[in-house]
Structure 1
Amino acid sequence: MNIPTPFYRLFLLAVVTVSACSRNPVTGKREVILMSKEQEVALGQQSHPAVVATMGLYQDKNLENFINEKGKAMARISHRPDLPYQFYIVDSPVVNAFAVPGGYVYFTRGIMAHFNNEAEFAGVLGHEIGHITARHSARQQTSQLFGTVALIGGAILAPRVIGQNLDQAQQALQLALLSYSRDHESESDKIGVEYSSKIGYDAHQMANFFATIKRISDNAGQAIPTFLSTHPDPGGRYNRVHELAKDYQAKNPGKYEVDRESFLRMIDGILYGEDPRQGFVENNMFYHPELRFQFPVPNGWQHQNSPTQFQMAPKDGKSGMVLMLAKGNSLDEAAQTMVKELSLNVLESAKTTINGNPALVIISQQQQQQEQGQPQQQQTAQNTVQIGTHLIQYNNAIYALHGLSAASNFNSQFPVFQRVASGFRALTDSEKLNRKPERVQVKTAPRDGTFSEVMVAMGMPASRVEELGVLNSMKKDDRVTRGSLIKVVGR
C-alpha cells in the first residue's frame, strides 16, 4: 500500500502546459492541443501504475484476451492507429469504463458483468477509443488533472475540506468543464458507433446499454438533470445513438453482429459486487479476511475501500482516518520512513501494545510546503494538519492507521482515533474469514414466463428482481423463453 500524495505530484510533473496548434485527427479542424503525441503516451505510462495501485487488475485470461483482441482490431481502423494502445480490466464493482491519454483504456469488472453481448462492449470500447483519437482525453484529462489533483492534495493536506468544502470545489470544477465535456461525450458516441460498426457489430446495442446505465443511475438515486451533468443524459443518448446506428447502417449495408451467447458464456463466473477478500464493512466493523484483521468503523462514518488503503470519515469532514501498509521491517524503520515521506514534525511518540501486537503511537503535524513563487502562508492551528498515527506490527507486516484533523480540533478527535486503533485485532470468526464473493452465473431458463417468474423459479429472491433485471437488461414483465441464457448471482 502506498501513500497517495506522490500520485498527484507525478501527474503534475507529467502534464506539460506548452500549447501547440495542430489538426484534430477526427474532425480535421485545427485547434490548440496542450500535449504532443509523445507527451500523451508518457502521461498514460506514468498514470497507469497509479490506476493499478488504486483499483487493482482483475485476473481473467479469457476476458483479457477478448478485450485485447477487439481493442487491437478497433485501434487498427481508428483515426490514430499508431498509438500504443493497451486494454485492461480493473478490479472494481462500479459500472464504468475510462480512457487515459496515450492509448490506455480501462473497463471495470462491474461493467463487464453488466454487458449482455459483444456488441454492447464494442460500442463502449469505440466510445473510449474515440476520446483518445479525437484527443478529448489529452485536453480534458489535462484540465481535470490540474483541478482534481489540487482537490486531492487539499484533502490530504487539509482534511477539514473533506466534507462540504470539497463537494463545493468539485462542483465548481465540474461546471467549469461542462461546456466541452458534453460535446466530447456526444462526439465519442458518434465515433463509437462508427468504430464498433467497422469491426462488424450492431451499434444499436450500444444505445441499449445506455438504457442499462440509466436504470443503474435511477435505482441508485443519482439521476441528475441533463443541464447539470458533465455527461449527456443516458436517456437522451439512447435515442441519439439509435439514430446514429440507423443512419450508419443505411449508408453501409451489411451484417452486423450482436453475439450474445458467446459473450455470456465468457463472463460466466465473473466476480459481482464487492469482493470480501479485499475487505468489507458489516455492522460498523471492517473485516479483512485475507490479512486476517478487523477494527471498528465509528457509527455514521462514511468509508471507501481500495486495494491500497481503507478510508473513512464523518459527514462533517472535520476529521478522517486512513489505513495503509507502512514501509519498513520494524516499527522504528516504518516511523522514520513515514516522517520523511510525509514531511512530518513529530510532537510526541510512545511505544505500546494493541491487543498483544507491538505498536508505536506518533503525534505529528505536517509541515507546510511553500510553493515556488508564492508567499509563505502563516501556519495556524486552523490550517495545520495534525496526525495521530498508530503503527501496528501484525502478522509480519506493519500497518499505519492515521487519524487526521486540523490541529485546532485534534484534541477532541484523538479519542475517536484511539478507540478505532484499540479495536485493531486478529480476525478469527470463521464465517467472516470464509466469506465468499458473489459471482455471475449464466444458466438456462427452466421455463417460459416473465422475467420475474423465471427469477423466482431459479431461486432468486423477489427483492433482487430489479437488480437482476438491470444485470440482464430486462424488465420484470419481459418474456423469457425456456432454454435461453440468463444471468443470476450466487456464491
Structure 2
Amino acid sequence: MIFLSRWRQRLPFLVVFLVLSGCGAQNVNLVTGESQRGAYSWTQQVQLGGQADQQIVAQYGLTTNAGVADYVDELGNVVLSNAFDAIERAAASGEVQLDRAAFSEIRQTPFTFRVLDSPVVNAFALPGGYVYVTRGLMAHLDNEAQLAMVLGHEIGHVVAQHSSRQAFKAQLGQLGVVGAAIGGAVLGGGDLAQGILEYGSQGAQLLFLKYGRDAEREADEAGVAYSEFSGYDAAQAADFFRSLGRIQEAGGGALPSFLSTHPDPSEREQTIPQLASLYEGTMVNASEYLAEIEGMVLGENPREGFVENGVFYHPELAFRFTVPNGWQVSNTRQAVLIGEPNGRAILQLSLASQSSAAQAAQELRGQQGISVTGQENYSANGNPAVLLEGQAAQQTGSISFLASYIEYGGNVYEILGYTNQQGYQTYAPEFSRTMRSFQRLSDSQYLNRQPVRLDVVTVNRSAPFSSFLNGRADVPGLTPEGLAILNQVGLSETIPSGTQLKLPR
C-alpha cells in the first residue's frame, strides 16, 4: 500500500506505536496472574493509550447522547471494580500468584469507557485503560448482560496487557512498527480497520490483525467471569455472537478460521454458555437496556455525509462531489477516503489548516520529497481553487499525485488523489473529475436529510418479525434481514405478543 509521508497521520485506522528500544518490560497478566514479556511498562501503556484516545475521538466522534455515555461509563466501572475484586480474592486464596505492586498500579489507574458515534458493530480497547463500544454495537445488543460481557472482554484485554505482549512479539519479529495498539475488536475489524486498509492486499490486512486467538479466548473467559461477578447472566451473550456470525455471513466478510485472530462466532456461541455455567449470575435487564438506547441513531448518520447514485453529499457542510464508479467510500469525522476496488488508487478529502487555497498549495510545494510538475489556478464551480500535480519520494520509490485545494464556506478543502507512477495516467482523469465536481449543495432533499432513529416497540400480537417492518423507515445500510439480526431473531420467526422490538422510527 502506498502513503505520502505528510498525509500518513490522517489515515483513520493507522494508530501505530514505535516499538521501544531495549529488551522490553516485565508485565503482569491479571487474568492469569502470570508474568510475561511486553514492549511497554504499564506507565508507558497509559501514556500511549491517552495519546491514541485523542486521535480516536477526533476521528470518529463520541455519541451526543450524554445519558448513553454515562450509562456505559457507569456499567464499565461496575464490571471493572468487580473484576479487580475477583483478582484480589483469587490472589488471597492462593489461586494465582500476583505481583502486588503491579496490581496496585493498574488498579489505581482510572479507566475510560467511551461510546463512539459509528454504525459499525465493534468494540475494542487501547492499552492503559481505554475501552470503546460503538453505537452500532449497542443497537445490536438486546440487554445489559450482553453489554456487561462485551465490556468485561475488553477489560480483560487491558488488564492482561495483551497489546504490550503482542507488540513485544512483533518487536522480536523485527516488524519495526506495531499495529497492535488498537485491538480486541469484537468482530476483529470494524470501522477502525476500514479506510485504506480495506482496499489493500490480504497481506496488508494480515499485518494489522489483532490479538491471537489464545488472547481472545483469554479475554472471553475474563469477560464472562467479570460480568458474572457483577451479577449478570453472561450466557446471554451467546445470542449476540450468533448475530455476529449472521452479520459476517450477510456481508460475505467471514475470514477462514485460520486467518482470523478471533475465534469463530459459532465457537464463541457454544463456549460462552459453558463458561457462564461455572457462575451464578442471573441479571439480564433487557427493558432497562432498551430504554437507554431508544432514540439512538440507527445506521449511518446522513448529516455527516452519505453517497447516493454516485454522488457524495454532506448536508452539514453543504457540499457535494461525484464519486468514481465502483470505488469504495469510508467516511469519518476527519476525512472521506475513496478507494479504487483493487487498492491501486486512493482519493482523500479533508480540511486543510491554511486560510487560502494558495497558501495550502504553497505549503505542499515546500514539503521535503515533494516534486511539483504542474500547477493550475481554477474555479471549482465558482469556488477559488488550486490544482497541483507531481510526485512524492518514498523509501520504496516515488508515487504520483494530484492535489486540489478549494476555498468554500470559510474552509479550505484538500482533495488528494495518489497512485503509483505506472497507474497515474489511468487514474488521473478520475482524480480530476472528482476534484472539479466539488460544488455547493443547495438541493433541499439532500440538505434536509435526517437520520433514522431507533424505536423500542412492545408488539401487541404474535406474528412473523417481517410483518412488523411494514410502514417503518428504510435504514441506509440495513436490509430487512439486517433488522432481524439487530433484534437477534429470524426474519420469518414468530414474535410473541408483548415482546419488545428495536425498529426504525
Q: TM-score range by the shorter chain?
A: 0.7 to 0.9
Structure 2 residue aligned with 1:293, among 298, 306, 319? 319
Aligned to 2:267: 236
Aligned to 1:54: 59
Q: Does the 8 Å CA contact 2:145/2:227 hold for their aligned counterparts?
A: yes
Q: Does 1:487 align with 2:485?
A: no
Q: Which amino acid aligns with 1:441?
A: D
Aligned to 1:468: 483
Q: Give the 3 Å change call, closer, same or farther, for CA 360–476 of structure 1 in structure 2.
A: closer
Q: Does 1:435 align with 2:435?
A: no
Q: Does the 8 Å CA contact 1:100/1:141 hold for their aligned counterparts?
A: no
Aligned to 1:195: 226
Q: Does the 8 Å CA contact 1:19/1:32 hold for their aligned counterparts?
A: yes
Aligned to 1:6: 9
Q: Does 1:388 align with 2:405?
A: no
Gaps of 5+ in 1: 151-160, 250-254, 370-376, 378-382
| Equivalent-residue separation in structure 1 for 2:7 and 2:455 (angstroms) | 36
| Equivalent-residue separation in structure 2 for 1:341 and 1:17 (angstroms) | 33
TM-score (norm: length of structure 2): 0.83
The one-character-per-residue Cα deviations of 1:154-210 (angstroms, maximum 9, x if unpaired) are: xxxxxxx97986332323664xx7xx6100111111101111011111111122211
Structure 2 residue aligned with 1:226, among 245, 249, 257? 257
Aligned to 2:116: 90
Aligned to 1:270: 296
Between stretches 476-485 and 279-288, larger displacement belongs to 476-485
- Deviation for aligned residue 1:413: 2.6
| Equivalent-residue separation in structure 2 for 1:145 and 1:195 (angstroms) | 35
Aligned to 2:204: 169
- Deviation for aligned residue 1:317: 3.0
Q: Which amino acid aligns with 2:481?
A: E
Q: Does 1:246 align with 2:288?
A: no
Q: Give the 3 Å change call, closer, same or farther, for CA 413–453 of structure 1 in structure 2.
A: closer
| Equivalent-residue separation in structure 1 for 2:199 and 2:241 (angstroms) | 31
SS of the residue 1:403 aligns to: strand
The one-character-per-residue Cα deviations of 1:450-490 (angstroms, maximum 9, x if unpaired) are: 3334444x6578x9442222111112354433333211113
| Equivalent-residue separation in structure 1 for 2:429 and 2:293 (angstroms) | 47
Matched ranges for 1:67-78 at <5 A? 67-78=72-83
Structure with bigger helix share is 1
SS of the residue 2:119 aligns to: coil
SS of the residue 2:489 aligns to: coil
Q: Give the 3 Å change call, closer, same or farther, for CA 15–475 of structure 1 in structure 2.
A: farther
Count of matched residue positions in the alignment of Structure 1 and Structure 2: 457
| Equivalent-residue separation in structure 2 for 1:439 and 1:468 (angstroms) | 13
| Equivalent-residue separation in structure 2 for 1:330 and 1:433 (angstroms) | 26
Q: Which amino acid aligns with 2:405?
A: L
- Deviation for aligned residue 1:225: 3.2
- Deviation for aligned residue 1:341: 5.8
| Equivalent-residue separation in structure 2 for 1:54 and 1:4 (angstroms) | 14
Q: Give the 3 Å change call, closer, same or farther, for CA 149–467 of structure 1 in structure 2.
A: closer
The one-character-per-residue Cα deviations of 1:44-100 (angstroms, maximum 9, x if unpaired) are: 011112212221212111111111111112222334422220011111111000000
Structure 2 residue aligned with 1:325, among 320, 341, 351? 351
**Percent of pairs identical after alignment?**
37
Q: Does the 8 Å CA contact 1:339/1:345 hold for their aligned counterparts?
A: yes
The one-character-per-residue Cα deviations of 1:427-446 (angstroms, maximum 9, x if unpaired) are: 11111111111111111213
Q: Does 1:184 align with 2:215?
A: yes
Q: Which amino acid aligns with 2:316?
A: E
| Equivalent-residue separation in structure 1 for 2:348 and 2:63 (angstroms) | 24
Aligned to 1:155: none
Matched ranges for 1:15-54 at <5 A? 18-54=23-59
Aligned to 2:87: none
Q: Does the 8 Å CA contact 1:289/1:433 hold for their aligned counterparts?
A: yes
Q: Which amino acid aligns with 1:57?
A: L
| Equivalent-residue separation in structure 2 for 1:71 and 1:37 (angstroms) | 20
SS of the residue 1:367 aligns to: strand
Aligned to 2:378: 352
Aligned to 2:92: none
Structural RMSD (CA):
2.8
Structure 1 residue aligned with 2:460, among 446, 455, 459? 446
TM-score (norm: length of structure 1): 0.86
Q: Which amino acid aligns with 2:9?
A: P
- Deviation for aligned residue 1:403: 1.4
